[in-house]
Structure 1
Amino acid sequence: MSHPEVYGYVAEGFAQVREEYAAVVAEQGGQVGSQLAAYAGGRLAVDLWAGPQVSGDTLTGVYSSTKGAATVVVALLAQEGIVEVDRPVAGYWPEFAAAGKDAITVRDVLTHRSGVIGVDGGLTAAELADDAMTARRLAGQRPYWKPGSAYGYGGFVTFAVIAEVVRRATGQSLQQMYEERVRVPYALDLYLGLPEAQEERFLPIQWWSATPEQEAAFWANVPGPHSITGIGYGLNSTPPLDQVAFANTRAVRGNGPSSAGGVGSARGLAGLYAAAVWGCNGRPSLLTPDTIGKFAMLHSTGGDLVRGKQGNYALGFQAKGLRYPFLSANAFGHDGSAGSESFADPHSGIAFGYTRRQFGFGWSYPEHDRLAAAVHHAATSD
């Protein structure tokens, strides 16, 4: 039996990462389509890809890994004193104060403690494709729990609130700020608003492969559309949000909504975190150690009202030191529901990026653990 081909480059000392990636690709039958990239010690040490039609330059939807890029923008604005994370959102956006939201701070939103995870009646795909439209719907919505009393992941709407704060504070959209301050200066292959000229590089996301019996068993246990989990994932719309169709819609790619509309490559994801912490492409780091410390600090841990045990958040970012025990306590990043993963570990000097074109069955991605461990081991071995 021939093994699927793996393409790309690994630096000296990272051969085991290529071997582990090749094993993952083989176990997937070579059909998923994925990319793996990692910076270590300031250099691009891993740049691999495999699967039908996929190259190192391929772009695909990265879903909530978009939140990492959006958080870098917020961290940069906080570092410059333009956005204050402990100021009420309504201090920037007065309309948000309606329905008991007057005391919710930017920090509450970034740590998923606001209770604002959707709207009664749901948001359409067209509304979710546009941060401004989503924000208008959220302005009058009452929180789904007392702000600050618990946390729950707002997968599709959280950063529409943040984007409106950025717009009110700067006069520019979060996407414009990201393009001008982050993506262009650091030449990142990660877009919050994909230009038409780059469309030919985009490959659509595909649904998972499963037997009809597996599908039926899975969907029989999906929470109801008007449950906390259903609202958090946009299932309370009519029709319920189709995650595959959403990412593959040109309006979503073109607008780049800041919760889930980013498009990029593994190089772009890894490069984002390299740029934030250490700098890359001849430019210095975007964020100071003090800013990184504040945004990497644990905020929301324990049971997530929306995701169950899958939570654990820093400020805007996911707390990757809890997700991967071999990383340091202040590792931070963000994954995406279609299977992307991305993070920085300031202690070990790693910036990691992974994309895949096909959802994992049940949104499960065990290869993340294996690939992250392989990169960490290679980067920290003598």
Structure 2
Amino acid sequence: MTREIKVQGTTAAGYEAVRDEFASVLAAEKPDHAAQLSAYVRGKQVVDLWVGPDTGGETLFGVFSSTKGAAHLVVALLVQDGVLELDREVAHYWPEFAAEGKGGVTLRELLAHRVGVVGADGGFTPEEIADDRAIAERLATQRPFWRPGTAFGYHALSIGALSGEVVFRATGQTLQEVYEERVRAPHGLDFHLGLPEALEPRFRSVLPMAPSPTEQAFLDALPPQPGSLPSIAFNRNGAHPTDLEAFPNSRRVRAKGNASAGGVASARGLAGMYAAAVTGIDGREPLLKADTVAAFGQIHSTGHDLVVRAHRSFGLGFQSTAEFKYPFLGAGTIGHSGAGGSQAFADPCSGLTYGYTRRRFAFPGGPAAENERLVQAIHTSTVATAG
């Protein structure tokens, strides 16, 4: 059953159809559903929409793995500065990481999800999984689950801690501190890696997945995977398995700003961060040079992902977004989606940056299906207005 959707917010001239598409794709959702949609083109905001009870454009949601985009923007900045070198061994910055045959692993291999340290034997406790430095301490001595460099697999809950420890060893600051000082605060972005207590009233907890009877039957038929790579990567392999749907609902996770999946943002914050990084906002210089964007957007891993057990493509820290879901986007598009349904990216070719959040966890996890229609609608409007 569909219902009438009251969409709030604004669109620039030429983007009116995006409002209609936003209402259409959400019409079948439950009445308590909430979502936000934002887009910039060459640094100017062209879409700023939201829908749902107790929700405005400034409302903050858990964005799960879209957090990885913010984390690896920090790494890209430090590479651009010459503080980090992609082809240096991780152990050059973090000597303890050399244990269990990882001494030759380069930062480039780590960022491309090729190191094989997707989790820890016995899993992490709730206290550890919220704290990147605690995760990194465990992973330094962890034997890889495949020979580094021979394959790749999504480091779902570990990549931010691994990257973050390299940042900390090289700079003396946590990844979250560098992000706050160099990215979030200077641009006033509503995308937080470590949500201040004062902003908690703006956060809305994630609502659990609400599958249809057919979808539930599909989930019920999935075989258990104890000890499998997916189980290890999503911290389901120990005495304290992580409930991914509820992950950002933990104040501990939000406060620590787990750099793999603990970020909190609005759609404005997601799209605004990529605009600040790649095109600049309102005439300001972008944070990243074009060569840096190209280097991090270049595909480094493509094919069978050992963790998600499907075809995937990664650049350095970022998903290869055009290859992942949206083939009409430009080559070298950098971004990341989140398990709860969020999506964010920058397309350097068109100057389009995109952010989408939703409150209810998407079925079956990953970028919500409606993103395909919404990205297409915004991209079509962008091409038409540019012509």
Shorter-normalised TM-score: what interval? over 0.9
Cross-structure match for 1:374: 377
CA distance in 1, matches of 2:374, 2:114: 31
2:165 counterpart of 1:164: yes
TM-score, normalised relative to structure 2 = 0.96
Residues 2 and 219 (structure 1), Cα distance of their counterparts in 2 relative to 1, 3 Å cut = closer
Q: Which amino acid aligns with 1:333?
A: G
In structure 2, what is the equivalent of residue 259 of structure 1?
Answer: 260
Work out the CA distance in 1 between the residues paired with 2:305 and 2:60. Answer: 31
8 Å contact 2:208–2:246 — kept in the other structure? no
What is aligned with 1:269? Answer: 270
Give CA-to-partner distance per residue, 1:194-242, whole Å, 9 cap, x none.
0001000000001111256743540431551310111111111223211
In 1, the alpha carbon distance for the partners of 2:111 and 2:160 equals 8
> Aligned partners of 1:2, 1:209: CA distance in 2, in Å?
17
- Would you say how many aligned residue pairs link Structure 1 and Structure 2? 382
Asked if the contact 2:129/2:135 (under 8 Å) is kept, the reply is yes
2:151 counterpart SS class: coil
CA distance in 1, matches of 2:307, 2:370: 24
Secondary structure of 1:261's partner?
A: coil
Distance 2:17 2:74 in 1: 34
Q: Matches of residues 303-314 of structure 1 in structure 2 within 5 Å? A: 303-314=304-315
8 A contact 1:232–1:306 mirrored in 2: yes
Residue 355 of structure 2 is aligned to residue 353 of structure 1: yes
Distance in 2 between the 1:268 and 1:117 partners? 28
Does structure 2 retain, via aligned residues, the 8 Å contact 1:30–1:50? no
Cα-to-partner distance string for 1:274-298 (whole Å, 9 max, x where unaligned) = 0011111553100001111100101
User: For the residues of structure 1 that align with 2:362 and 2:66, how far apart are their CA atoms?
Assistant: 16
Kept in 1: contact 2:43–2:283 (CA 8 A): no
SS, match of residue 27 in structure 1 = coil
Q: Which amino acid is 1:59 matched to?
A: L
What pairs up with 1:335-346 in 2 under 5 angstroms?
335-346=337-348
- Cα distance in 1 for residues equivalent to 2:27 and 2:120: 42
What secondary structure does 2:337 align onto?
coil
Within 2, Cα distance between the matches of 1:343 and 1:186?
Answer: 17
Distance verdict in 2 for CA 1:2–1:340, change over 3 Å: closer
CA distance in structure 1 between the partners assigned to 2:10 and 2:211 by the alignment: 32
8 Å CA contact 2:42, 2:280 repeated in 1 = no
Question: Is this contact kept in 2: 1:332–1:344, CA < 8 A?
Answer: yes
Hey, what does 1:155 align to over in structure 2?
A: 156
The 1:212/1:225 distance shift into structure 2, 3 A limit, reads farther
CA distance in 1, matches of 2:223, 2:363: 13
* Alpha carbons 1:68, 1:317 under 8 Å: kept: yes
- Counterpart CA distance in 2 for 1:198 and 1:211 is 34
Do 1:300 and 1:314's aligned partners in 2 also have CA atoms closer than 8 Å? yes
Which stretch of structure 1 is more off in the superposition, 189-198 or 219-228?
219-228
Aligned to 1:249: 250
8 Å CA contact 2:274–2:353 kept in 1: the answer is yes
Q: CA deviation at 1:308?
A: 2.1
Residue 317 of structure 1 and its aligned partner are, at CA, apart by 0.4
Residues 213 and 21 of structure 1, relative CA distance in 2, 3 Å threshold: closer
- Structure 2 distance, partners of 1:38, 1:137, is 39
Amino acid at match of 1:350: L
Opposite residue 270 of structure 1, the aligned amino acid is A
User: Separation in 1 of the partners of 2:215 and 2:296?
Assistant: 40
- Equivalences for 1:62-211 in 2 at 5 Å? 62-211=63-212
| Cα distance in 1 for residues equivalent to 2:45 and 2:237 | 42
Q: 1:277 to 1:156 in 2, by over 3 A?
A: same
1:322-333 aligned within 5 A: 322-323=323-324, 324-333=326-335
Contact 2:3/2:28 (<8 A) preserved? no
Give how far 1:137 is off. Answer: 0.6
Post-superposition Cα deviations, 1:229-275, rounded to whole Å, max 9, x if no partner, equal 11111111223211133210001100101111100000000001100
Q: CA deviation at 1:2?
A: 5.3
Once the two structures are overlaid, the 10-residue window that deviates more, 321-330 or 110-119, is: 321-330
Counterpart-to-counterpart distance in 2, 1:221 and 1:249: 27
Q: Which amino acid aligns with 2:37?
A: L
CA contact (8 A) 2:277 2:286 kept: yes
| Structure 2 residue ranges without an equivalent (≥5) | none
How well do the aligned residues superpose, as a CA RMSD in angstroms? Answer: 1.4
TM-score normalised per structure 1 = 0.97
User: CA deviation digits over 1:152-188, x for unaligned, max 9?
Assistant: 0010011101101000000100000000000011111
| CA spacing shift, 1:38–1:30, aligned 2, 3 Å | farther
Q: Percent identity?
A: 51
For residue 334 of structure 1, give the secondary structure of its aligned residue in structure 2: strand
Alpha-carbon displacement from aligned partner over 1:105-138 (angstroms, at most 9, x marks no partner)? 1111111000010011111222110011000110
- Indicate the SS of the match to 2:327: coil
Q: Is the 8 A contact 1:186 1:281 kept in 2?
A: no
